[in-house]
Amino acid sequence: MTGTVKQKGKGGGSLSELRGEARRMASPAKARILSGFFKTGPGEYGEGDVFIGLTVPQSRQIAGKYLHLGLPGAAALLQSAVHEERLMALLILVRLYAAGGQETRAAVYRFYMAHAGRINNWDLVDLSAPKIAGPYLEKRSRAPLFKLAASSDIWERRIAVVSCHHFIRNSDFADFLKISRSLLGDGHDLIHKAVGWMLREAGKRDKTVLEGFLKRHAADMPRTMLRYAIEKMPRHERSAWLESSRKGRG
């Protein structure tokens, strides 16, 4: 299946040429900063992740020249220990999905979900899930997202949440709200942030949706989730929700 999607492009280089170009642009100083920012130390969520020091625009620039590598190239890059190589794989997938017809999009979506275990840091999720999983499932059953939301893997749970950004942009809230309720008891800060972020986005589209969720669940929400959800509200409204939450917990 990985050989079914290829794209012609200006570039014609090989996977090794992509890697060589990435290393020529890499910055050891930036790699040290990124390693700290993405928590790669022992016991941290990104433990063991390896950075070479590319910005997202640089990774996007390189990926755009190697779209012809298709799913086989993306598969190889996703197996890399290097964070930026996995990022470039996902940027290739996003471009292939956006430019593809129905058959290509289905193939890219299946590939994406099959390789969810390699989409293993929050930026990798956030740059890809709303542009592949969300659009593909727009008019289909969201059962795959509910399955991911129940996963023991934090990144699969984050994919479930952030994929919903596509639905939210289309004022389609029902499944996102169900997924959010299922994650109220989640123990990881990165899930609290993701749910809070998506609730905030829902509030931008329809404030009554956010307020309705808060009225029912503010007292049960992790504090970080609540703070992210209300971040763009006027100060007096934020204070009122925080106070209401404290009283509810009491």
Query: What is the model's pTM?
Result: 0.93
Task: Let me know whether 89 and 172 are in one domain.
Answer: no
114 is a domain residue: yes
Residue for token pair 């996102």:
176
Residue 1 predicted with pLDDT over 90: no
The pLDDT tens digits of the residues spanning 191-239 come to 999 999 999 999 999 999 999 999 999 999 999 999 999 999 999 999 9
Among 119, 147, 169, the domain boundary falls at: 119
Counting the structural domains of the chain, the total is 2
Rounded CA separation 130/123 (Å): 12
In Å, how far from its chain's centre is CA 69?
Answer: 23
The pLDDT, as a whole number, for residue 12 is: 75
What are the beta bridge partners of residue 50?
Answer: 82
Is residue 190 included in any domain, yes or no?
A: yes
Residue 131 lies in a domain: no
Q: Is 127 a domain residue?
A: no
Domain boundary among 119, 151, 182: 119
One domain for residues 91 and 170: no
Mean pLDDT of 147-169: 98
Claim to verify: residue 18 and residue 94 sit in the same structural domain: yes
Give domain status of residue 84, yes or no. yes
Domain-embedded: residue 124: no
Distance CA 65, CA 78 (A): 17
Which of 86, 119, 152 is a domain's end point? 119
Bridge partner list, 177: none
Asked if the structure places residue 228 within a domain, the reply is: yes
The 10 Å Cβ neighbour count of residue 119 is 28
pLDDT of residue 6: 53
232 with 176, same domain?
yes
Residues 37 and 110 in one domain: yes
Q: What is the dihedral of CA 109, 110, 113, 115, to 10 degrees?
A: -110
- Together in a domain, 26 and 106: yes
What confidence tier does 9 reach under pLDDT thresholds 50, 70, 90? very low
> Do 14 and 73 lie in a common domain?
yes
The domain of 148 spans 137-250
For tokens 């197996």, name the residue: 79
pLDDT in tens, 78-126: 999 999 999 999 999 999 999 999 999 999 999 999 999 999 999 999 9
Are 17 and 115 found together in one domain?
yes
The rounded distance, in Å, linking the Cα atoms of 183 and 64 is 36
Residues 148 and 227 in one domain: yes
Alpha-carbon distance of 160 to 142, in angstroms, equals 9
Within-domain flag for 229: yes
Please report the DSSP string for 99-121 in residue order. H--HHHHHHHHHHHHHTGGG--S
Q: Could you tell me if 48 and 104 lie in one domain?
A: yes
What is the number of other CB atoms lying within 10 angstroms of the CB of residue 50? Answer: 16
For residues 180 and 189, give the distance between their C-alpha atoms in angstroms, rounded to a whole number: 14
Question: What CATH number is given to the structural domain containing 240?
Answer: 1.25.10.90
Q: Are 112 and 146 in the same domain?
A: no
Q: Are residues 164 and 222 in the same domain?
A: yes
